[in-house]
Amino acid sequence: MFRQTLRQSSKATRAVRNASHKAELPPWALEPAFPKGDPAAAKAFKDSLAATEHHAKSTSGLWKKISWLVAAPAVIATAINTYFVEAEHAKHREHLSHVPDEEWPKQYEYMNIRSKPFFWGDGDKTLWWNPVINRHIKD
């Protein structure tokens, strides 16, 4: 009952508070949104806008030419080079897959250090283990 009375009194207070003063607009809100401007300033702005658009058109054309004549051939040349390098690596990996563990390079003490086993798989292989490329020889 007390809460209901308190709510009703607070609503009444808010209503009186809102009705007690008139909503007056600030002077700047009464001015027209687009006042009459200076024709010379408008012409200068339009000229500046046209010059900016002309400059942007020529600059964007330059960067399109640079992209097609420089960047695209560079990407294609890099892709061709990468293909041949990776093909050579694939041949080398194929050769290494036939090498027995006894002829494999020696495991040094800083290689394959495991302070505790990994919690996945057999606990010995890293998360990025690739059986085609990686080899883990236990002594």
pTM: 0.45
**Over its length of 139 residues, how does the chain's per-residue pLDDT go in tens digits?**
555 555 555 555 555 555 555 667 776 666 666 667 788 888 899 999 999 998 888 889 899 999 999 999 999 999 999 999 999 999 988 888 888 877 877 778 887 788 898 898 888 888 888 887 777 766 5
113: CB partners within 8 A, 6+ apart? none
